[in-house]
Amino acid sequence: MIPPRYVVIGSGIAGLAAAEAMRQRVPGAQITMFSDEPHPFYSRPGLAYLLRGDIPEKQLWIRRPEDLAALRLQRVHALVDTIDFLRREVVLLGGHRFRYNRLLIATGAQAVPPPFLPSPIPGTFKLDSLDDARSLLQSARRGETAIVVGGGITALEIAEGLLARKMNVHYFLRGDRYWSDVLDEVESQIVMGRLIHEGLNLHLNTQVKQLIVAKGQVAGVETQDGAMIPCQLLAAAIGVRPRLELAKKSGLAVDRGIIVNPQMQTSVADVYAAGDVAQIRESDGKLGSLDVLWPTALNQGRLAGENMTGAKRSFVKKTPFNVTQLAGLKVTIIGAVGDGKTKDLVAIARGDSESWRMGVQSWAVSERDDVNRVRLMVGETTIVGALVMGDQTWSQPLQRLISEQVDVTPIREALSKGSASALTRLAQFYQQWEQRQPKRSTIETPRI
C-alpha cells in the first residue's frame, strides 16, 4: 500500500504538534514540512528571555535530536507560494510542486507594521522570530539609544531586553498608561514605576509622527507633538496578525484568520489550518476570536494532526491562560480580564495591603510599594477571570476555579462585600471544594 502523504506548511508549534500526532497515529506515513525558517524547532515565547540574556540560545530548542530523528520528518526550507487545490499540490516559490493527500496550513502570525514604517529600513526591528532576536542582539550596543514603540507584552519585552543590554531606552506609549486593555490602573502604575526605576525613559501619550533617516539608516524620530529624539535603533510591536497571504492567494475562505470548523477543516476538502493563522467558526455559525497563544496553537495543531489521520475530534476552547514577566514581575492572566466595565461582572482586586474595594468600576487601591495583587472578575455564578501579579500562590487555584467553572454562588455575597475577609472566605471555599475533588498532588492550597 502507498503510504499517505501529509504535508505541513509552517514549522511553529502548531506544525510540530500536528506532525507528532500524525507520526504517532500512522507510523508509515510520509510527512513533509515546508518552512521559510531554517532553524530547529524553537520556543517563540522564549525569545524574550534570550533578548534579556536570561537564557542561552540553545535553551530555545524544544525537541531533542533523538526525538526529531524518531519523528522521521522530511523538512524543506522553502516558502510555499500558492496551493493548487484541484491537483492537490503545494507550489513553492520558484515553481516546484509537491503533492499531498492531506494538507495543514500552520503559517502563524506576524507583527503589524506601524504606520510610520510601512517597510523596514536599516536600524528598525520587530520581534517575530529567532532571526529578528538575533539581529536585535547584534545591533544593541551599550550606551547607544533605542526607541521602542507599542503598548503590549512584546514591546515591553523588547524594551527590557535592550535595557538589559545597557542601551539608553525610550519607550513610547500611545495612551496614558501601560497595557490598559488588560491591566487596571494600579497594575499599570506598578509596572511603569518599576520600569522607570530600572532606568527606562517612559513617554506617555506619545506617538511617532515620522522617522528621521540619515544615510539610509534610522537616526531618530519626530513625535506627534514636535519633539525630536535621536536614536540608533527603533523597534516596534503594535500587534500581530495572521499570515494569510498564502491562503488568500490560493482562494481559501478567510476572515481575520483562515476560517476552519471545530475539526480544524478549512473551506477546501482535506485542507486543515491550525494555530495563530486559524479562526474557528463555531457550530452555531459564529466566528471565534483569534487567540495567538502558544498553548492554543499546540492544542489545535495536535488536534488537526489527529483529524488528518482519521480522528473526528472537535476543538474545545480552554480558558485562556498566560504567564508573563512584566518589569521583572510574574503575572498570570486567566480567562476574561478586561477593564471591569462588562455588565453583570463584579470586579474585585486585592493589594498587598489587604485593602479591598468592590464594584464594577472601582478597584483596590494598593500601597505604594505593593507588587503582589490578585484581581478577580466575578460573573453571576462563577469567577470568569483573574489576574495574579507577583506572589503566584493563587495562580493555580484560580485557574482551576475558572476553567472548571465552579459555582461560587455560596460566597458571591461575601466576595461582593469587598472586605479583606473576602479572600479568606475564598480560600476556605477553595479548600472545601478541593477536598471534594479527586486528589491532585501538584495543586497548592493558597495560604493567606
Ligand X SMILES: Cc1cc2nc3c(=O)[nH]c(=O)nc-3n(C[C@H](O)[C@H](O)[C@H](O)COP(=O)(O)OP(=O)(O)OC[C@H]3O[C@@H](n4cnc5c(N)ncnc54)[C@H](O)[C@@H]3O)c2cc1C
Is position 397 an interface residue for ligand X (rule: CB under 6 A)? no
Residue closer to ligand X (CB basis): 8 or 190: 8
Phi-psi region of 199 (alpha: psi -120 to 50; beta: other; left: phi over 0): left
Q: Which residues contact 193 (CB under 8 A, 6 or more apart)?
A: none
Is position 9 an interface residue for ligand X (rule: CB under 6 A)? yes
Is position 75 an interface residue for ligand X (rule: CB under 6 A)? no
Residue closer to ligand X (CB basis): 108 or 418: 108
Run of H or E residues at 197: helix 185-198
Residue closer to ligand X (CB basis): 45 or 220: 45
- Per DSSP, helices labelled H in 337-420 are 395-403, 409-417
State which of residues 49, 179, 294, 430 lies at the interface with ligand X (CB under 6 A).
294
- Do the Cβ atoms of 297 and 276 come closer than 8 Å? yes
What does each C-alpha distance from 252 to 79, 100, 324 come to in angstroms?
A: 18, 17, 34
Site string for ligand X, 345-384 (x = CB under 6 A): ----------------------------------------
State which of residues 23, 165, 170, 243 lies at the interface with ligand X (CB under 6 A).
243
State which of residues 22, 103, 246, 273 lies at the interface with ligand X (CB under 6 A).
246
Is position 107 an interface residue for ligand X (rule: CB under 6 A)? yes
State which of residues 8, 14, 117, 290 lies at the interface with ligand X (CB under 6 A).
14
Please report how close the Cβ of residue 390 comes to ligand X at its closest, in angstroms: 17
Please report how close the Cβ of residue 48 comes to ligand X at its closest, in angstroms: 5
Distance CA 95, CA 111 (A): 27
DSSP three-state, residue 159 = helix
Is position 47 an interface residue for ligand X (rule: CB under 6 A)? yes
State which of residues 267, 324, 392, 403 lies at the interface with ligand X (CB under 6 A).
324
Q: Burial letters for 285-308: b for 16+ Cβ neighbours within 10 Å, e otherwise? A: eeebebbbbbebbbbbbbbbbbbb
Nearest to 288 by CA among 261, 320, 252: 261
Is position 127 an interface residue for ligand X (rule: CB under 6 A)? yes
Location of C-alpha cell 524543506: 76
Residues forming the site for ligand X (CB under 6 A):
9-15, 34-37, 44-45, 47-48, 79-80, 106-109, 127-128, 154, 243, 246, 275-276, 292-295, 297, 322, 324
